[in-house]
Amino acid sequence: MNCTIPAGNLKVLTKSLQTLSKIGDELYIEVTKESLLFRSINANKTAFCSFKFFNTFFTSFEVADIDSESDENPKLARKIQMKAILAIFKPLHKDKNLAFCHVELQYESIVIIFKIQYKFDVTVLHKVHLLDMEFWQVNYPNDSMNQVTGTGHCFSQVLSNFQLNNDDLGLEVMHHKVVMRNYDMRQMY
């Protein structure tokens, strides 16, 4: 897989990686013909988070033939340490001189290569060692899962109604409404 991420989309990618780092210590990378998935799961395997970036997110997205047991949905799956990937992308969050980031992951390789191109022809190369080749599938019943979707603007307006010093917000999802509370249920008993 070879892909190029434009500077404007690197901020979105960095935020998603920071979110995934709050879930688990390992990052699962899956490459399909049309997308790149980043996933993380906690140590107890009770919480997970997944971000899917379609090929339109990238300025170029090339995937070579991927070997797979299933020809219906071929994919390339790898696992890396979350700290290693955050060390690369966290400093990029506020850098104004970024041009693009090129990511290279080969099927037989033991490293993933991040080539960050800055303005004025400065290139920084990062090689991160892969932990193993592991495909990770979440098994949950789709009919019992609640889904909350909305724009970033909508969620930021909702969160603006709460104080910044709140440690926890409760989210109660019902069939046709979502209730967000800023109190701890344990204090009520």
Q: Which two structure tokens, joined as six digits, stand for 131? A: 């932990």
Pair 11, 24: CB distance under 8 Å = no
- For residue 127, the model assigns a pLDDT of 92
Pair 97, 52: CB distance under 8 Å = no
Q: Are residues 52 and 23 located together in one domain of the fold? A: yes
Q: Are residues 110 and 157 located together in one domain of the fold? A: no
In the predicted structure, residue 149 carries a pLDDT above the cut 90: no
C-alpha span between 28 and 25 (Å, rounded): 10
Strand intervals (E) in the chain: 2-6, 26-31, 35-41, 48-54, 60-62, 76-81, 98-104, 111-118, 122-129, 170-173, 178-181
When divided into structural domains, the chain yields a total of: 2
Q: Are residues 153 and 120 located together in one domain of the fold? A: no
Q: Are residues 154 and 123 located together in one domain of the fold? A: no
> Does residue 182 sit within a domain?
yes
In the predicted structure, residue 140 carries a pLDDT above the cut 80: no
> Does residue 139 sit within a domain?
no
Instruction: Tell me which residue range forms the domain holding 11.
Output: 2-129
CA neighbor of 109 nearest in space, from 54, 34, 31, 56: 31
Residue 153: pLDDT band (50, 70, 90) is confident
Q: Are residues 46 and 82 located together in one domain of the fold? A: yes
Nearest 5 degrees, angle CA 57-CA 95-CA 83? 75
Average pLDDT of every residue of the chain:
81
User: 66, exposed or middle or buried, with CB in 10 Å at 0-12, 13-18, 19+?
Assistant: middle
Q: Are residues 6 and 38 located together in one domain of the fold? A: yes
Q: Are residues 156 and 70 located together in one domain of the fold? A: no
* DSSP 8-state assignment for residue 107: T
- For residue 73, the model assigns a pLDDT of 46
Q: Are residues 125 and 165 located together in one domain of the fold? A: no
> Does residue 69 sit within a domain?
yes
CA neighbor of 126 nearest in space, from 80, 180, 173, 186: 80
> Does residue 53 sit within a domain?
yes
> Does residue 140 sit within a domain?
no
pTM > 0.85: yes or no: no
Which CATH number characterizes residue 8's domain? 3.70.10.10
Instruction: Express each pLDDT in 44-72 by its tens digit.
Output: 877 788 899 999 999 999 987 655 445 44
In the predicted structure, residue 113 carries a pLDDT above the cut 50: yes
| Across 97-118, average pLDDT | 88
Q: Are residues 119 and 161 located together in one domain of the fold? A: no
Q: Are residues 71 and 151 located together in one domain of the fold? A: no
